[in-house]
Amino acid sequence: MTPAPLTERLSDARGPLFFPVTAYGHDGSLDLDAYRTHVRRGVTDGAAAVFACCGTGEFHALLPEEFEACVRVAVETADGRVPVVAGAGYGTALAVRYARLAEAAGADGLLAMPPYLVLAGQEGLLRHYREIAAATALPVIVYQRDNAVFTPRTVVELARTEGIVGLKDGLGDLDLMQRIVSAVRTEAPGGFLYFNGLPTAEQTQLAYHALGITLYSSAVFCFAPEIALAYHRSLATGDTATLQRLLDGFYRPFVELRAQGRGYAVSLVKAGVRLRGPDVGEVRPPLHEPSEDHVGQLARLIERGHELLRDDA
């Protein structure tokens, strides 16, 4: 495998990027049947790619053998219809181990998340991601957020590294992103990919789109694919009226609800999946479940989003 196939497939993405939640049974153990159903629905509903065992998929809570099992199920379920990208993280040695497990499970690429705990300098971060990229034949997307924030110069060096094909931004500093895009375009041209990786990325995607960043993760797609797809189509076609209606009537209230609890970027999304089915279980600690009132608000908000789509029809 070379980076080109994944780069080409993501460059031509015609739907949202799907970050499935990881399913657990009532005893807290992995539920691969429910996970398979969840992934299958996402692919059938029109996801452009499956990002398995990443942030929304509680990568932090998975044992290596659970991680490999989930990635393998995602690959089998996608069946080549869309690429499967798997998470990799922690310190360099463990990140390499997860990268190799993902490769063995048949993944098409890696999303390399920030290293655990440490505040490293640019030189150390560059070395970390280069070692991950060198460990397998899988193309690597580097995730910028928290303790992994890069200067434009470092991203140029990442883009020049064999096997590193893109940067996912979870920081939200548009000035920095503009300088990164400009620096890579002038100093390391060649199809480097960029992703908006902020929570509920639809809320900020108009701004990222203006920078030429068209790829974004969609947590909403996990539990309300019709709404996420309507937003994606409207953005692609320049349907400003529909975009504004969805942003004002659904996405802004959802972001405000998400802000009511720590970890809700995962646990509230998982509650949304349970509302629609399948039963994917609760989140593992240290995350916690949303309150009953917040789940009720989410159910009403999803219905409001569907009403907005019916109004548009």
> What residues are labeled active site?
143, 168
Contact 102, 66 (CB under 8 A): no
Residue 97: CB atoms within 10 Å: 16
DSSP state of 136: S
Name the residue among 202, 194, 206 with its Cα closest to residue 220: 202
User: Rounded to whole angstroms, how far apart are CA atoms 67 and 62?
Assistant: 6
Distances (CA, A) of 26 to 178, 199, 205: 45, 27, 36
Show the tokens assigned to 21.
């939640």
Q: Where are the beta strands (DSSP E) in the chain?
A: 17-18, 49-52, 84-88, 109-112, 140-144, 164-169, 193-196, 215-218
280-304 CB burial, b ≥16 within 10 A, e <16: bbbbeeebebbeeebbebbeebbee
Query: Cα–chain-centroid distance for residue 70?
Result: 16
